[in-house]
Structure 1
């Protein structure tokens, strides 16, 4: 019995040592710059004054469980580990177009999508870059690149000087350390949610470059041109402490046209509210991909994307958040097939450009191919 107790004690001591060593290793690993920084000092005091920051974290306007009723975290993890899902990423190289962004005339109003939620927007001569991820990865953890073949043809070197870089939220598939750090010399201003400026500050951005905003705030770009930070139903975080930086959608109001970018988030009444607050939305860029009924509260299903676009009274819609990374278990091209089906006979025009294709925002007759068809 004594011998057994000695062995048990040694085993427990060994396991405790392993846990301590792993804990120390993880602590120092998470101190690497790609994990960003938490707000502190004057920045933390600023966010504490926000009505959306309560009990140590940012909150959605209407709080509800991340997982839908009938689903559990353990059940979803078990399915991810044991169940096989077909065609979650393409076998073939995705088709794309390499548009020279630096030679686009200043008087043209265009969008160029780079896959997932990254896109370049030029309107009224103002150059805007949204949620850029050019490293080919959706996580800082070591391993092979995550981007589908053919989906990662653009780099920081391909970007022109940027007037405003917009960040919807600080998840890795929207805020990429390598990309953000390399872009710093090219970006005049970055507009992000309260708290997210801590990441950019750690990565070398100056205080003059960083513009942190709460829901409902506006940034005046020039006469008749403003960018509004609006709400969405999502969350944020790059480490163990979540929701320390606010998540946003954006409404861009310019003399030429109005554009709305949804950011990530589940369906809510915000689309009706946006339509009431901002009249005439010429183009909507809406998250459509990496969804699951289990986490429907934070990522819209395709039928909800169509409903949201209708409620926005948008004239045109581009679906994003697909065709670059696998974050959900649906077939990689299902979002495009589904939104095409749900957009039939709607009061908006669906635009489905391939990666890099120039979308002329003033051409309401531009034709977009179903480029994802017949790709394995």
Structure 2
């Protein structure tokens, strides 16, 4: 039985920080204390960090949360079982359900009501998931990009443990799962450019520019990553969370081109460009990756920044039109054929808003 000290250390993230030090000999991304980006982000002054936190908590502008209900296509187990291979369903934020070779894979699973360590405080969902957690089909695997609360929900992962065969994670994140009680035999951890093959599907952890941690004490003690998924002639890129960096071009050259890029477009701000991309960066990343279809993710579910909730969709759609980039914007729960994507509706424009929150429409986006 763990001691009180062990329990407190785990709660505060101190064990994760210790694990990070133990991984230093295995990863070029580790300096002996923490994981790092290829290009270190500038050190933020405490005053700026405090000001950002204050504004996020107390100075939110109008429109960061929808005033009306978002359209969500409900899913059933029967419908998923009957769906053809190479189907993708967006369940919210960065949680994607993919059907490949007759089996299901889930990215960054968050079914919690809030993206927060607290049950009653923190960003609350705009919409319910298209399918209840208990109704999901058995999963061949779960793919994790990093350990932030809006990408890794402890209760969700523990609920999935019995119906999931394998968890693919960056270095250190898998140890966190094992600490939570996930069977170590199911956990596979990878550094950047490392990967595995599962039932003929190729998975490669690729670089990203971000950070990690779940408390004040474990910052960057686990690695963050993007993921490349290859199913024979189909290539899909999943960004996780990332700022824009030169690594996109390298990934495109080494592992592209990609049929579909699932790229972060949301929770951005000019004050933190090193960890989240502006829509302009998202489109450029797609071009660097040599992508064919762009699907913007990391939006439409949680209020995590200062922009209006529709802005990521409207801005990235306008930029794609200007750069002749094919973009797909399916509703939550709407099926996307990864082999032959469709454009999707501009569904965010149909959400009923109050006059004070109305968003001017871009005439360049049909």
1:48-63 equivalent positions in 2, closer than 5 A: 48-63=25-40
The residue that corresponds to 2:275 in the other structure is 298
In the TM superposition, residue 55 of structure 1 has moved relative to its aligned partner by 3.5
The residue that corresponds to 1:246 in the other structure is 223
Distance in 2 (alpha carbons) for counterparts of 1:156 and 1:367: 28
Alignment partner of 1:277 is 2:265: no
Distance in 1 (alpha carbons) for counterparts of 2:245 and 2:164: 32
The residue that corresponds to 1:21 in the other structure is none
Which of 136, 144, 147 is equivalent to 1:170?
147
Which stretch of structure 1 is more off in the superposition, 138-147 or 257-266?
Answer: 138-147
TM-score (norm 2): 0.87
Alignment partner of 1:373 is 2:349: yes
On the 8 A contact 1:193/1:246 being kept in 2, the answer is yes
The residue that corresponds to 1:318 in the other structure is 295
On the 8 A contact 2:145/2:170 being kept in 1, the answer is yes
Residue aligned with 1:372, SS: helix
Alignment partner of 1:180 is 2:157: yes
Distance in 2 (alpha carbons) for counterparts of 1:99 and 1:79: 37
Distance in 1 (alpha carbons) for counterparts of 2:175 and 2:334: 34
On the 8 A contact 2:329/2:346 being kept in 1, the answer is yes
On the 8 A contact 2:114/2:125 being kept in 1, the answer is no
On the 8 A contact 2:90/2:332 being kept in 1, the answer is yes
Closer/same/farther in 2, CA of residues 187 and 369 from structure 1, 3 Å limit: same
Distance in 2 (alpha carbons) for counterparts of 1:318 and 1:66: 32
In the TM superposition, residue 31 of structure 1 has moved relative to its aligned partner by 4.9
Residue aligned with 1:293, SS: coil
On the 8 A contact 1:310/1:347 being kept in 2, the answer is no
Gaps of 5+ in 1: 1-26
In the TM superposition, residue 271 of structure 1 has moved relative to its aligned partner by 1.2
Which stretch of structure 1 is more off in the superposition, 260-269 or 57-66?
Answer: 57-66
The residue that corresponds to 1:91 in the other structure is 67
Structure showing greater radius of gyration is: 1
In the TM superposition, residue 80 of structure 1 has moved relative to its aligned partner by 3.7
Q: CA RMSD in A?
A: 2.5
Which of 297, 308, 321 is equivalent to 2:285?
308
Distance in 2 (alpha carbons) for counterparts of 1:241 and 1:60: 16
Closer/same/farther in 2, CA of residues 372 and 60 from structure 1, 3 Å limit: same
On the 8 A contact 1:44/1:195 being kept in 2, the answer is no
Residue aligned with 1:79, SS: helix
The residue that corresponds to 1:20 in the other structure is none
The residue that corresponds to 1:75 in the other structure is 51
TM-score (norm 1): 0.85
Distance in 2 (alpha carbons) for counterparts of 1:56 and 1:39: 8
Gaps of 5+ in 2: 1-5, 354-366
On the 8 A contact 1:116/1:322 being kept in 2, the answer is yes
Alignment partner of 1:157 is 2:134: yes
Aligned residues: 345
**Structure 1, residues 184-237: CA drift from partner, whole Å, max 9, x if none?**
0011010111111222112221121000100010111234x3100001000000
